[in-house]
Amino acid sequence: MSPDEFWAVVDRVAGPDPAAAADALTGELQAMPVEQIVAYEKQFTAQMARANTFLHRAAAETIMGYTSQDVFVSFRTWVLYQGREVFDAFVADPDSLAGRGPTDDEQIGASETLELAPIEAWQAKTGRDPSSAGSGAADGGSVYEDPMGTPVDRALLAARFPRLTAAYVGGAPSNGPAPIRTR
């Protein structure tokens, strides 16, 4: 599956409500042959890697305070399922998410259904356990890899992300995740 084919699917299901997007994505995936589902999952992993940097994690932390790796994965998943235009802009400049970002924590938490949809669709079509050796499930890498690059000094978040800082209340990274609140 080419990046353009992947993004065509994402753009058809994109939206701020992860549950609605997951329902639409499940329908799209169930209509695909098994090989295309595997290719979709590999492309998902490749696209997610583009935003797996300390800079992008710092943007997430500007919005929510401390962000664990699993919350950062859900955050990137939510951004990806806003569509290609939003995701590409976020990859190029994380501060571009101001005005287009999440409005509450539930959007981020519910995004896990989008992350798991390809594996669940594959399992439903094949009847096989995706974690079994030689199952044929996608093994294109992990979205849980450590971020690339250099960590961003948390004291500099407001200066690095002025639009996100103006748009979100954020939280002190040392206090753990904060509820997502817009200003």
* Burial grade of 68 (CB within 10 A; 0-12, 13-18, 19 or more): exposed
Question: What are the pLDDT digits (tens) for 136-177?
Answer: 776 656 899 999 999 999 889 999 999 999 998 776 656 666
Question: What are the pLDDT digits (tens) for 42-54?
Answer: 999 999 999 999 9
Residue burial 25-63, b: 16+ Cβ < 10 Å; e: rest = bbebbeebeeebbbbbbbbbbebbbbbbbebbbbbbbbb
Question: What are the pLDDT digits (tens) for 26-40?
Answer: 999 999 999 999 999
Question: What are the pLDDT digits (tens) for 51-87?
Answer: 999 999 999 999 988 889 999 999 999 999 999 999 9
Q: State the DSSP H helix or E strand holding residue 37, giving kind and residue range, or none if neither.
A: helix 34-49
